[in-house]
Structure 1
Amino acid sequence: MHLGALPYAVKHLGLSAPVYATEPVFRLGILTLYDYSLSRWQVSDFDLFTLDDIDAAFQNVVRLKYSQNHLLNDKGEGIVIAPHVAGHDLGGTVWKITKDGEDVVYAVDFNHRKERHLNGTALGSFVRPAVLITDAYNALNNHVYKRQQDQDFIDALVKVLTSGGSVLLPVDTAGRVLEILLILEQYWTQRHLVYPIYFLTNVSTSTVDYVKSFLEWMNDSISKSFEHTRDNAFLLKYVTLIINKDELERLGDAPKVVLASMASLEVGFSHDIFVEMANEAKNLVLFTEKGQFGTLARMLQVDPPPKAVKVTMSKRIPLVGDELKAYEEEQERIKKDEALKASLSKKEEMKASLGSNLKASDPMVTDASTSRKPSNAGSYLVGNVDILIDGFVPPSTSVAPMFPFFENTSEWDDFGEVINPDDYMMKPDEMDNISMLGAGDGMESKLDEGSARLLLDSKPSKVISNEMTVQVKCSLAYMDFEGRSDGRSVKSVIAHVAPLKLVLIHGSAEATEHLKMHCSKNSDLHVYAPQIEETIDVTSDLCAYKVQLSEKLMSNVLSKKLGEHEIAWVDAEVGKADEKLTLLPPSSTPASHKSVLVGDLKLADFKQFLANKGLQVGFHMQIW
């Protein structure tokens, strides 16, 4: 998911623009950032953003459905955006951006292959967009057949488990891990395997609970199966969802499969489990995605792998003794300083609002101030004082104050009082809030119980760290389950879409240059491969203008449908709105122009058209 910097941008950069995403990306994106933030906080004084900052950032998210056209306003007036299936993650999108009849397609991280829980990308349905922005991430890689890959994956796991070892799969929180969960669930069901499988993140149960409700966003097989048999593919029978390591520690060295976040091995449960498993040759650490540069996962994926790595082990412990006392004194000092600042600020506001209206000669003010501090006539502006105001005595003949009362008459029928159903219906926003917060109220109820306890534990704490060298004796393996199209498929998709201009991003220099040379050699595309922070101009070569056409003119033109639009031929002069156009003399004979073929000509339909006109038509040797 491409949303890791969103809370930071909102908090530190002042981003206030609306953010567009699908419902699964909205829900699972929050959980992904929760898991990351909690994992960082447990081992460091992470302060780039908090859980509250994550909530605030997602307040600006506008949720869209697949193929839903959304018209932007304000600065984006005239621009239409629409999300389409990307096939990489649940709810992942390829964005179609339309302006003045031209399409810009943003397609980074797409997958053309249908998987167990996702349909393939809809990118192939676009033809001749003005600009296609895509990535060269996998331009140099070619995949093996998916069935063979899945079989190799299961065989590698079973081999280790039957030998008495355990398997660690460093995974993401709520993205590609969903496909791996279904693979394991399917093969464990078919083979009746007894080895336990654990899915361990700070939000594992919440993740799967949300995924169960997103079946309409998955592939057709899952949706149809649920419609006919009510079987939910994510009612996992062989996968146990856990949020801490207690259950793993009870198992000890027993064979097991553990899917743990984070995939980078830098922080999270996967980091600690790797340190525990690495010393045993019978164990296996199997990576399902490429590690990012500079991470522990990337260091272990080099060939040959290192025999030893240095890692930092950190944990958060409560403060005790003198440290706790010093912390409490510091917090008390901070509270007093904040209270003093708030008091001074309030007094300044009182001076600004009351100073111009009150005078020192005011008897009410003078009496109030001198009654407390006779030596300081101006002390009415310092601190709070009690003032007795006399002189208002209600007359004995006055009545008690009353509020106006109006009796509302209700309609009744044979069954009782007629009600308005709208008064009892819940607004969509309120339903979203309830489903997001669950049974509780507040941020904690969106997390699993263990994570909520961690947040509610407000005891002062600190992080202690120590470096250690880990001997890597376990087996290391990498299998590509990233869910991205390979180089051969990317080239085929680009050739099919045939954009006027192609922009390549998100890839190594070698992969980007390879794909650029291939597209330039095999097509007439204008290919751009910008460097980081480089700005390129992909302005359309076409000239498009907005013109105002009268209803009388539109009623006389002959329109033909072309895709989502209608086109017609009009001869006219174009001028600015503030100019007065010269009235052309009426012409009884329209000016001639070349014929234009709109759409595709189907020979069968054309044959029927000619036959209706009384012409004999036949096909012979593939010619008329």
Structure 2
Amino acid sequence: MFNFTPLLGAQAESAASQSLLELDGGIKVLVDVGWDAAFDAQRLDAIERQTSTLSLVLLTHATTEHLGAYAHCCKHIPLFSKVPVYATTPVINLGRTLLLDLYASSPLAASIIHTSSISSSSTTSKADSSPNLLLQPPTPEEIATYFASINALKYSQPHQPVASSWSPALGGLTITAYGAGHTLGGTVWHIQQGLESIVYAADWNQGRENLLPGAALLSGGQEIIEPLQRPTALICSSKGVEKAQSQSRKDRDGMLLSLVRDTIAQGGKVLIPTDSSARMLELAFLLNEAWKENLDGPHAATYRSARVYMASKSGSASIRYLQSMLEWVEESVRAEAEAHLTKTKGSTNPLNWQHVKLVERNSTLERAVQRSQPCVFLASDASLEWGFSRLALESLATDTKNLVILTEKSAPGSPPQSSISRQLWDLWQSRQGQGHTSSSGARLVDTDGTAIGLQEASTAPLSDAERALYETYITRQRQLHSTMQGDNTLADATAPDVAEQQDEEESESEDEDEDAEHQGRALNLSAQMTQSSKRKAALSDAELGVNVLLRGKSVHDYDVRNKRGREKMFPFVAHRTRNDEFGDLIKPEEYLRAEERDEVNGVDMRDGNKEDLAVGKKRKWDDASTSGPKATGESAGNKAQNGTPGDGSDEDEESDYEPEELMPEGPQKVVFTSRSLALRLRIAHVDFAGLHDLRALQMIIPLMRPRKLILISGERSETQTLASECRRLLTEGTESAGTDIFTPAEGEVVDASVDTNAWTLKLSRQLVKKLTWQNVKGLGVVALTGRLDAETAAEDAVKEEEENAKKKVKLESGNDELVKPARSMTATSVPILDLPNSTANAAQQHQRVTQPVHVGDMRLADLRQALRGAGHEADFRGEGTLLVDQAVIVRKSASGRIEIESAARGLQQPEWRTRENTGSFYAVRNAIYSGLAVVAGV
């Protein structure tokens, strides 16, 4: 059994991808946890309903469309963080940096609490219950923890995953990751269980790129790799089938670099919006190579006066991860990097991006935009709704010399307003006739003051009424989560961490005798949640009591007169050292691997340095200076020497130092402000999405020959276009004529089970003794003929029970009495396959009733070589026809059956002395038999 349900991204305007696979035995596999720029938590309701039944989760790409909601689900959906997750190492590392950039750049990523959820948790009227309250976003430490729990896999290594604790047994389920291209570590998943062989290929790219390798679907030319041949179901994305014409990599790169060179030569600035970790690396690598090659060419003055900026709040972490994942990049880049590591003469490090400067702060971006020098910005995100790309667009919009290059087609988005990238795309599409063509063939469109709509999202603190509404909602959610988890765990974003909570509970139990007002424990869950909520600084000073010394800002005194118990003492809790029978407990964060270490708020966590060197904070005399203009210049020079991206000319560079941005504390709400932006810059499009096109799909899908084809991840027009094309292609071949094509919508269940009837049988003892197994390509094969018998099932069950009882008696010392098992056992529901003759005499005088069969596949080219080696003449005559000794013709049908036709002189019986060189028909037959495995019958 195999049922497929697209949760998101099927014939829809959203580019997010979520798919649910239901296999035999109640196994459920969730592939991808994608999100879109709207960050609507209601689009994750389907995942929340299925979480308690999920067996495992698979991730394909490190993009927002494929794992943007992963951290949100781990934090706000009960039990989701306990489901085993599998992905490749680059997807884990780059996904972590992507979400760090997302939550640091967009307040809307925390997701707005829906009005229906707030109304159902309070008695407030609906008109007063829509203040756009935000959920608490996951912290950088929580994001690092979520991604550290993902199981890393390598390409082409079959793996039997471990299911969640509540999942049924996986029953031999095997998952294998294959390269998908498009992103670093992108994955095509092969899921094998019993008769089901499922290939999940979403957003793949067969062509190689500059930094990224292509999809590993073909082996040695025009053949699909063996594990992916003839799957029972192929789940494929339909994006990109409506492209006008596919370009080669050389033409695509030349068009982009030509647009960049022409713009910076005129003194303009170029903005290339892209995602923050995956496709950005490919673009940064290309631009760095272009700058390195042209510094001494005819356009040297143009390139020397311009700079390339990689604007992402987690850019340094992405570069660090890339330099530690050489085995995942394109083969030529890997070879060059390995030659540099071995200090081969004349080699350079291709991942040392000296001409790309990192921008991780808003002030640095503002200074770069205000400079009069031309420059190129690779900025996150591609939607231009959040990140540095939006800030750069607003600053560059008024200059006609500036240029925005769209690298992919934007999704339509959701009402009431499309994303900024979609508005730019529609503007470029509508003015194709009015634009002009550049020297490289790209279409440039002038905006001429056209206004686009912007919607700014900013956070604000809650009022007293909104705070009460928020606390009521959080209380209700904690009750729901505790009920679903089956314990009293308070999975709340506002609650303290577990270690601190346990310390406070221990200290409370020690002070019970001296504080009568705090004796006893909470008798119900509501009381527990009330006490937990009082621990936060969101409450008033009166409610905090003496804890205001810790929670309050600039509070240094507290009146303890007429106070009792803890209210008379400073709120200090001594943390106990916890240990078990092996000693002190280990803190996992102190033993992180290199790829798991990250920077949190600009501070390197690898050395345990979690202090914020804010303005005015003292520093020890022996500490190295890390701030100020001089320190910044020294650190930039060191980075350039150590291979960290820089711009190579820092003599006039300003200091990048600025105080850390303080994150807002407590619950927040989002406030939207709509305005318009007049554009005077130019717009161009170069396809750098790195996705398959219609031509690649027309080649790959017929070669795979799937029994079922399911199309997802595309707009309605793209899906229908690909479906009609596949129906035409798959009906032309004889082996794929029966392929069923499905185009499900979001939430529609597709029954894509293999068209085979399978039953579970149990072999009788007499039959098992007669089996002769043959090894065929690592599989045990036997041919047999038997008879189904229900009575034999009951007899075998009783015999097995008696033998188990005898073995048990022998093991027990001092007990010679044999206890007979009860014979009231009912017949088993599993039918028994017995010998055709069940009597004892027939079993003794058993003869083979099943003829031996041949298993395997004989290629005519191998047969021709074997016959020539035996002294025969063998040549091909026409397509698929082998002529032997001018007397015997060998053909191979489309179904794989070998047919032999012989003339009269080819049927001459060979003499035993000359058996090898006479009798062409018998020689051919013997050669065919020698190339196949003979499976004896029973």
1:268 maps to a residue whose letter is G
- Checking the alignment, whether the CA contact within 8 Å between 2:398 and 2:678 is kept in structure 1 is yes
Q: Output aligned runs, 1:271-290, within 5 Å.
A: 271-290=390-409
Which residue pairs with 2:264 in the alignment? 161
Change (3 A) 1:444 1:61: farther
Which residue pairs with 1:430 in the alignment? 591
Change (3 A) 1:91 1:48: farther
Which residue pairs with 2:741 in the alignment? 527
TM-superposed deviation, 1:172? 0.7
Which residue pairs with 1:148 in the alignment? 251
- Structure 2 residue 302 is the aligned partner of structure 1 residue 228: no
- Checking the alignment, whether the CA contact within 8 Å between 1:88 and 1:109 is kept in structure 2 is yes
Change (3 A) 1:450 1:143: farther
TM-superposed deviation, 1:234? 1.8
TM-superposed deviation, 1:501? 0.5
- Checking the alignment, whether the CA contact within 8 Å between 2:274 and 2:378 is kept in structure 1 is yes
1:420-458 alpha-carbon deviations (Å, 9 max, x no partner): xxxxxx99993527852542438899xx99899335786
Change (3 A) 1:282 1:581: closer
Which residue pairs with 2:213 in the alignment? 119
TM-superposed deviation, 1:100? 0.7
| Partner Cα distance (1:315, 1:234) in 2 | 37
1:475-496 alpha-carbon deviations (Å, 9 max, x no partner): 0112111111111111211011
Q: Output aligned runs, 1:39-54, within 5 Å.
A: 39-41=105-107, 47=135, 49-51=137-139, 52-54=141-143
Which residue pairs with 1:130 in the alignment? 232
Change (3 A) 1:338 1:571: closer
| Partner Cα distance (1:115, 1:247) in 2 | 31
- Structure 2 residue 695 is the aligned partner of structure 1 residue 498: no
- Structure 2 residue 380 is the aligned partner of structure 1 residue 261: yes
1:604 maps to a residue whose letter is D
1:496-552 alpha-carbon deviations (Å, 9 max, x no partner): 111010000111111111111111222121000011111110111113455566899
2:404 maps to a residue whose letter is V
1:430 maps to a residue whose letter is Y
- Checking the alignment, whether the CA contact within 8 Å between 2:451 and 2:679 is kept in structure 1 is yes
More divergent stretch after superposition (296-305 vs 573-582):
573-582
- Structure 2 residue 607 is the aligned partner of structure 1 residue 349: no
Change (3 A) 1:287 1:19: same
| Partner Cα distance (1:308, 1:154) in 2 | 28
Structure 1: where are the runs of 5+ without partners? 353-381, 386-425
- Structure 2 residue 157 is the aligned partner of structure 1 residue 68: yes
Which residue pairs with 2:356 in the alignment? 239
Correspondent of 2:688 among 466, 473, 481: 481
Correspondent of 1:616 among 872, 885, 904: 872
Give SS of 2:875's match.
coil
| Partner Cα distance (2:99, 2:325) in 1 | 19
Change (3 A) 1:249 1:534: closer
Which residue pairs with 1:270 in the alignment? 389
| Partner Cα distance (1:72, 1:580) in 2 | 32
| Partner Cα distance (2:682, 2:865) in 1 | 68
- Structure 2 residue 737 is the aligned partner of structure 1 residue 540: no
Correspondent of 1:598 among 853, 856, 873: 856
Report 1 or 2 for greater relative contact order, CA contacts < 8 Å, sequence distance ≥ 6.
1
CA RMSD of aligned residues (A): 4.1
| Partner Cα distance (1:18, 1:171) in 2 | 30
| Partner Cα distance (2:96, 2:366) in 1 | 29
Change (3 A) 1:554 1:139: farther
- Checking the alignment, whether the CA contact within 8 Å between 2:402 and 2:682 is kept in structure 1 is yes
Give SS of 1:71's match.
coil
Give SS of 2:178's match.
strand
Q: Output aligned runs, 1:463-478, within 5 Å.
A: 466-478=673-685
| Partner Cα distance (1:298, 1:148) in 2 | 25
Change (3 A) 1:444 1:554: farther
Which residue pairs with 1:390 in the alignment? none
Correspondent of 2:241 among 139, 143, 147: 139
| Partner Cα distance (1:558, 1:43) in 2 | 59
| Partner Cα distance (2:755, 2:668) in 1 | 61
TM normalised by structure 2 equals 0.52
TM-superposed deviation, 1:191? 1.1
Indicate the percent of aligned positions where both proteins have the same amino acid. 25
1:585-610 alpha-carbon deviations (Å, 9 max, x no partner): 34654234484451242433564268
| Partner Cα distance (2:705, 2:609) in 1 | 49
Which residue pairs with 2:576 in the alignment? none
Correspondent of 2:772 among 557, 562, 581: 557
- Checking the alignment, whether the CA contact within 8 Å between 2:359 and 2:365 is kept in structure 1 is no
- Checking the alignment, whether the CA contact within 8 Å between 2:324 and 2:595 is kept in structure 1 is no
Which residue pairs with 1:12 in the alignment? 76
TM-superposed deviation, 1:581? 5.7
- Checking the alignment, whether the CA contact within 8 Å between 2:239 and 2:718 is kept in structure 1 is yes
- Structure 2 residue 430 is the aligned partner of structure 1 residue 304: yes
- Structure 2 residue 330 is the aligned partner of structure 1 residue 219: yes
Change (3 A) 1:459 1:236: farther
| Partner Cα distance (1:144, 1:311) in 2 | 33
Change (3 A) 1:527 1:429: farther
TM-superposed deviation, 1:253? 2.9
2:175 maps to a residue whose letter is I
- Checking the alignment, whether the CA contact within 8 Å between 1:43 and 1:316 is kept in structure 2 is no
Q: How many residue pairs get matched?
A: 537
Correspondent of 1:26 among 81, 85, 92: 92
More divergent stretch after superposition (188-197 vs 537-546):
537-546
1:93-131 alpha-carbon deviations (Å, 9 max, x no partner): 000000114310000000000111222112342210000
Change (3 A) 1:350 1:31: closer
Correspondent of 2:310 among 190, 199, 223: 199
- Checking the alignment, whether the CA contact within 8 Å between 2:381 and 2:389 is kept in structure 1 is yes
TM-superposed deviation, 1:619? 2.5
Give SS of 2:146's match.
helix
- Checking the alignment, whether the CA contact within 8 Å between 2:181 and 2:214 is kept in structure 1 is yes
- Checking the alignment, whether the CA contact within 8 Å between 1:100 and 1:544 is kept in structure 2 is no
TM-superposed deviation, 1:54? 2.7
Correspondent of 1:182 among 285, 298, 313: 285
1:58 maps to a residue whose letter is F
TM-superposed deviation, 1:210? 0.8
More divergent stretch after superposition (306-315 vs 504-513):
306-315
Give SS of 2:137's match.
coil
Change (3 A) 1:556 1:466: closer
| Partner Cα distance (1:207, 1:607) in 2 | 54
- Checking the alignment, whether the CA contact within 8 Å between 1:132 and 1:502 is kept in structure 2 is yes
| Partner Cα distance (2:685, 2:197) in 1 | 38
1:312-349 alpha-carbon deviations (Å, 9 max, x no partner): 456679x9xxx9xxx9xx99xx9xx999x998996442
Give SS of 1:454's match.
coil
Change (3 A) 1:608 1:25: same
| Partner Cα distance (1:455, 1:602) in 2 | 73
- Checking the alignment, whether the CA contact within 8 Å between 2:597 and 2:606 is kept in structure 1 is no
- Checking the alignment, whether the CA contact within 8 Å between 1:503 and 1:527 is kept in structure 2 is yes
| Partner Cα distance (1:556, 1:594) in 2 | 12
- Structure 2 residue 714 is the aligned partner of structure 1 residue 571: no
1:104 maps to a residue whose letter is I
1:484 maps to a residue whose letter is L
